[in-house]
Amino acid sequence: MTADVWVLIEHQAGIPKKISLELLALARGLAQALNGQVIAFLPGAQVAGIASALGHHGADVVLIAEHPALAAYTTEGYTAVLADALREAGSPVVLMGSTAQGRDLGPRLAARLSAGIVTDCASVAVADGALTVTRPVYTRKAIGTVAFAGDGTKIAVVLPGMYTVPEEDAGHAAEVRPVEVTADLARIRTTVRETKTIERETIPLTEADVIVSGGRGLRGPENFAMLDALARELDAAVGSSRPPVDSGWVPHDYEIGQTGKTVSPVVYVACGISGAPQHLAGMSGSRYIVAINKDPNAPLMQVADLGVVGDLFEIVPKLTEAIKKERTKR
């Protein structure tokens, strides 16, 4: 099997998103196994400035599809442009992030191209000549191994946080090629009215190496400020289990679990979260788990790498101070 590996680049404010750099790292390994090139596909309006960074992160070729109608993501605009480019490309492997965009686009693109598609991949590898992925299923009560069949285009939508972004290699330069946008983008039927930024003290959950998360044990919305303060010191994102969302303490986009987001940070710091199966479904893929809870028998304490029995209202502020000191040492 010989194939190129395409990576759909997501970007914001002229900077590629972390998930796209993770996918370039994955693509390098796959391209080696498949004797192909890493092709970064970069759609947008005025995005050429991003291309060189993609080369430094492992792309051999950057295809730039620029058009004013591609400035904001739309399902139909991106599907049309990517489908046109992929039809010219033989049958590559296509990687995109399991993000609001990737989950919206991947299946539609697969349907248009009659391509194989697997979403929420935790790993993607070439095994016995076949492209094979693993993914959590049944609310993470099982891990499915899925293989692509046939010769056509294969789309893998990959969970964030599964691959490490290597150091930039300034010596690795990509060949940059513009793609002629011939799709009729006047046919896009949906209109993006606006994207409202959620005012947050901290970074998005899917971009974070460290997540600080609160549960029922926080007792009220005002106490999430304590987690924000800790998160700032750790460059972390703030999330929650389901009870704080159901109680209206934090909005739904905080929720980690079966009915919220699936995350896999390097460290997950759970504060006052008992660890219902519904929550474990969203975070048990974290590399390390630290749990702070009054109850030593809470289910989350049974899976934590470090379980701290104690009063989070006493521990969290002191921990924030200690980390601040630790950081100023350096």
| Stretch of 25-33, 50-58, 85-93, 303-311 contacting another protein, by CB under 8 A | 303-311
Rounded Cα gap, residues 314 and 208, in angstroms: 25
Q: Which residue number, 29 or 73, has a Cβ lying nearer to another protein?
A: 73
- Nearest distance, CB of residue 321 and another protein, angstroms: 8
The full DSSP string for 63-128 is EEEE-GGGSS--HHHHHHHHHHHHHTS-S-EEEEESSHHHHHHHHHHHHHHT-EEEEEESEEEEET
> How far, in Å, CA of 10 to CA of 297, rounded?
42
Q: For another protein, which residue of 167, 194, 248, 328 counts as binding (CB under 8 A)? A: 194
Size of the site for another protein (CB under 8 A): 98
Which 8-state DSSP code applies to residue 300?
Answer: G
| Residues 71/44, Cβ–Cβ less than 8 Å | yes
- As measured in angstroms, the least distance from the Cβ of 104 to another protein is 5
278: contact with another protein by CB under 8 A? yes
Site for another protein in 82-121 (CB under 8 A): 99-101, 103-108, 110-112, 114-120
Query: Is residue 201 involved in binding another protein (CB under 8 A)?
Result: no
- How far apart are CB 14 and another protein at their closest, in Å? 16
Report the C-alpha gap between 41 and 51 in whole angstroms. Answer: 10
Query: What is the token pair recorded at 305?
Result: 């790498």
- Number of Cβ within a 10 Å radius of residue 292: 24
Please tell me whether residue 15 binds another protein under the rule CB under 8 A: no
Residue 91 or 179 having the CB closest to another protein: 91
Question: Residue 193, interface with another protein (CB under 8 A)?
Answer: yes
Q: Of residues 210, 212, 226, 227, which one binds another protein by CB under 8 A?
A: 210
Contact call for residue 209 and another protein (CB under 8 A): yes
The footprint of another protein on residues 217-236 (CB under 8 A) is: 234
CB contact at 8 A, 45 and 70: yes
27 φ/ψ angles, rounded to the nearest 5 degrees: -60, -35
**Residue closest to 80 by CA, chosen among 9, 181, 172:** 181
Least distance between another protein and beta carbon 227 (Å): 14
Using CB under 8 A, which residues numbered 163 to 192 contact another protein? 189-192
Tokens of 201: 């003290």
Q: Dig out the tokens for 216 from the structure.
A: 């029922």
Q: Does residue 259 belong to the site contacting another protein (CB under 8 A)?
A: yes
Footprint of another protein on 32-71 (CB under 8 A) = none
Q: How far apart are CA 117 and CA 111, in angstroms?
A: 9
Query: Least CB distance from residue 172 to another protein, whole Å?
Result: 26
Q: Which stretch binds another protein (CB under 8 A): 43-51, 88-96, 172-180, 281-289?
A: 281-289
Footprint (CB under 8 A) of another protein, residues 133-152: 135-150, 152
- State yes or no: residue 324 binds another protein (CB under 8 A): no
Which position among 32, 175, 252, 295 is part of the footprint of another protein (CB under 8 A)?
A: 252
Identity of the residue, 62 or 110, whose beta carbon is nearer to another protein in the bound complex: 110
Nearest Cα to 280, choosing from 101, 72, 140, 82?
140
Pick 103 or 219: Cβ nearer another protein: 103
Q: How far is CA 151 from CA 2, 26, 40, in A?
A: 10, 21, 21
DSSP secondary-structure letter at 13?
T
